[in-house]
Structures are given as structure tokens and as C-alpha cells.
Amino acid sequence: MDIKISVILPVHNMEKYIDRCIGSLKAQTLDGLEFIFVDDLGTDSSMSHVEEFAASDSRVRIIRNTKNMGAGASRNAGIEAARGRYLSFVDPDDYIAPDFYSLLYSKALTNRTDAVKGISRIDGRNRLPSYDPDKRLKKALKHGFPVYYRFTDRHFTAIYKRSLFDDPLARYGTTHYGEDTTFLLRTLYGIKSFALEERAIYHYRVHSENTTASFTPRRCMEELASLKEKLDFLLGKPQDRFTRLYIRGRLRHYFNNFCVTLRCCEPLRQNAEYMSDFTAAYSSTLKAQLDRVPKSVLSPKYLEELTIFLRYGEVLSTEPRDYDGSYRQRFTEWTDFLVRHPDAGRDLLRGYAYMILQSFSRTDLPFRNLSGHGSRLHEPFRRELFGRLGKKQKRRVLLFLPPCLADYAVRSYKYGVLGLGE
């Protein structure tokens, strides 16, 4: 039989969701599919549902791991067994639209592409999230960005030409977290042709059993291991603008997850010794990896929080706003840091100046459209926080503000005019 697409599904403890997934596979309108289920030795009845499907459908193949290997290694086993012209991956707790593969395959033939991507929708949510990776990817493709730079997650929304996997590096990473982003980087780097099919819908389910649903010390260390795999690959390639930006973005992402873990992981919060040991281990591992990264990538101009962590051992918020929707938490933490460390360098003061721009009120700021900042500002300039800095620090921070805003900040701080904060 001519197999058009091999669909690979790693299965481990998904009995609550797998029937919906199997139903969506049965409903596919494209002929010439094969479904490869990889049994990763779960402890529930997930595989009994798969075996029932296999008994009634000759398109189903089952591979059994000899031990629990994780989703990435299970998908790699499926890649080796696949016979289709294109390969695709589905998580067994998700489901797909009936015409998902029909649309993707038709687009692949029409455009003669190495990969075609559909779009994802979070199950149960009718409106698009504020962060829409598909929209960002579409914009990046329009401007000629390399595919790997923006297609960095939701690997399951695409089909990939079989010839891409002739490269032994085009595989999932060996870690339990971040293995999918490693796969996308190594598979899509240097890809010849790519297309986006916005009518093909993949329904992504978010629940407590998702491996990405919680932040834990183990996840942080695994992500650092996946960072090493990405660096091993990228540092062997020509260093251009996009490789540097990619590395910088991964550093921000993984360090942000580390910060969230310190704030939200209850066992860490309740055990100071555990937190100290974990932070020391993370810091040591991160420093070892960063020693290999070009210094231009690690400029404090771009990675202020990471610089503070490595130089001073302090963790500041990496999100632009805290959970109640304001910038006050981040602004307060940075002010406290600068008071404790008046010797902080100019690049860190530049980062603080940018936060001053972010702190201006939408309604009070007379320059709302300047440099695009007006659309993302939320609360008044904090006079009482800025006032805690030394005279020299204030002067150096104001040097990095546009002249009109620097003048506005000085007058606001000195005279308390224009309805500014407390």
C-alpha cells in the first residue's frame, strides 16, 4: 500500500483522553495513512484502547519499548519504523480535525515542500490566546526569517518529508523536557521549502497531566540539558544574526522557567536548604554551558536578569509584569537591586531605564505613541521607587531615556505633577 503519511503517537498513561484521539484518527478523510503507536509501558489501560483500534483497522501498528523511555525517545523509535512519504506526530491526549491530514498533504504536493504546518487551538477555548505562535510564524515567513527561528514549539501541528530524517540529527532530544524544541531546530535548520496551511486545525489539550503543565527543579535541569543539545548543534553552524537571536531567546525562556519554579514550586518555597542546593546546581550547570556561547549573545543589554543572576547570584522577575497585571513588582525588585549594588554597570541601568518607560501611565503620558511604548504601559511612574536611587544612579539612568521622556520623568519626580504615582 502507498503510505502517504505515517502518524506517530507515544502512549503513556493517557486512558482518560486516548479515545477522543483515536476517534479523530479514524475520522481522517485522507487515504494512505498509517498509525504507529509506541507503547512506553504505562500503568493504566491506555494500550488496551489502542489494541482494540488495531484489531479493527489494518493501518495501525504497535511498537513496544523494553523500558519507559519518555516521549522523545518513543517518537524516535516511531521514526525508524515509519514507511510514509511524510511523517507526523500526535500526542494521545490531543485530537485533530477530520480534514487535518488531507489539507496538509494537499498543500505539500501543490507547493512541493519539505514540511507543511497547520495551526493549533487549545481545546475548550474559542478565542485565540494573546500569545499566538502561528501568527508570529506567518509574519516571520513573510519577512524571510528562517523557519527554525520562529517554528519553535507545537511540533505536532506539521507533517515532515521523509527525506529530512535521512540526517541522523533530525531526531528528538534525549531529555524529558525541551526534546521537541531540539527536534524542530535540528530538523528545520536549513530546510529548503516550507508552507503554512491555516485551515488545518490541531486541538491541543491543556490539563494537569501535561508534562509542560508544572514547573519543577527536575524540569529546569532537564531544560538545561536540552539547551546543551541545541548549543552542540548551533555552535557548529555559521554564526549569523538568527543563530544568536535563537540562543538568546532560549536562554531567556529557560531562565524564566527557573524563576517561575523558584516562585511557584511549593516544596522549594518550604525548604530553604533544598532551594539553595537547587539554585547552586542550576547556576553551576548554566555557567558551564554559557562559557561556550559567544560574548555578543550574552550582552547585559539583552539578558539583564541572567547577567544579574550570574554576577550577583540574585534572581529578579523575568516577566514584564507580575500576576496582578502591573509592572510594580518588577520595578520594585530592580530598584531594590540597584540600591544594594550601586556599582551596577551601564547595561543594567539601561534595562532599568526601559522599565521606567514601561511604568508611565497610558492616560498621563503626553507622548503615548513615541517608539510604540504607549500601547503597552499600565501604571504611573513610581516616584517613591526612583527616589531611592543615588544621585549618580538617577543621572545615568536618565541618559538612556529619550530627551522628552527624561525631562518628563525629572519634572514628575521633582514636582509630583501630572497625576503621577504615590
Q: Is 349 in contact with 396 (CB distance < 8 Å)?
A: yes
Three-class HEC string of the chain: CCCCEEEEEEECCCCCCHHHHHHHHHCCCCCCEEEEEEECCCCCCHHHHHHHHHHHCCCEEEEECCCCCCHHHHHHHHHHHCCCCEEEECCCCCEECCCHHHHHHHHHHHHCCCEEEEEEEECCCCCCCCCCHHHHHHHHHHCCCCHHHHCCCCHHHEEEEHHHHHCCCCCCCCCCCCHHHHHHHHHHCCCCCEEEEEEEEEEECCCCCCCCCCCCHHHHHHHHHHHHHHHHHHCCCCCCHHHHHHHHHHHHHHHHHHHHHHHHCHHHHHCHHHHHHHHHHHHHHHHHHHCCCCCCCCCCCCCHHHHHHHHHCCCCCCCCCCCCCCCHHHHHHHHHHHHHCCCCCHHHHHHHHHHHHHHCCCCCCCCCCHHHHHHHCCCCCCHHHHCCCCHHHHHHHHCCCCHHHHHHHHHHHHHCCCCCCC
- 327 versus 133: the higher-pLDDT residue is 133
- What count of other Cβ atoms lies within 10 Å of the Cβ of residue 202? 23
Local confidence band at 304 (pLDDT 50, 70, 90 cut-offs) = confident
- Given this model, what pLDDT does residue 299 score? 77
pLDDT at 413 over 90: no
Tell me the residue type at 187: T
Local confidence band at 211 (pLDDT 50, 70, 90 cut-offs) = low
Question: Cα 109–111–116 angle (5° rounding)?
Answer: 80
- Given this model, what pLDDT does residue 367 score? 42
Grid coordinates belonging to 387: 527616589
Say how many Å lie between the first and final Cα of the chain, rounded. 73
* Lowest mean pLDDT across 4-13, 143-152, 255-264, 272-281: 255-264
User: What is the average per-residue pLDDT within 270-274?
Assistant: 92
User: What is the average per-residue pLDDT within 57-83?
Assistant: 95
**Cα–Cα dist 393/103, whole Å:** 58
In 3D space, the residue among 38, 134, 41, 51 whose CA is nearest the CA of residue 92 turns out to be 38
Q: Give 142: exposed, middle or buried? Use CB within 10 Å, 0-12, 13-18, 19+.
A: exposed
pLDDT in tens, 42-58: 999 999 999 999 999 99
Please give the domain boundaries of the chain with CATH numbers for all domains.
Answer: 5-204 (3.90.550.10), 217-415 (no CATH)
User: What is the average per-residue pLDDT within 323-346?
Assistant: 78
- Given this model, what pLDDT does residue 206 score? 80
pLDDT in tens, 357-400: 665 544 344 444 444 444 344 444 566 777 888 888 888 887 77
By percentage, how much of the chain surpasses pLDDT 90?
Answer: 55
Look at strands 115-122 and 194-204 and give their pairing. parallel
pLDDT in tens, 150-163: 999 899 999 999 99
- Given this model, what pLDDT does residue 187 score? 97
pTM of the model: 0.84
User: What is the average per-residue pLDDT within 216-220?
Assistant: 92
- Given this model, what pLDDT does residue 369 score? 43
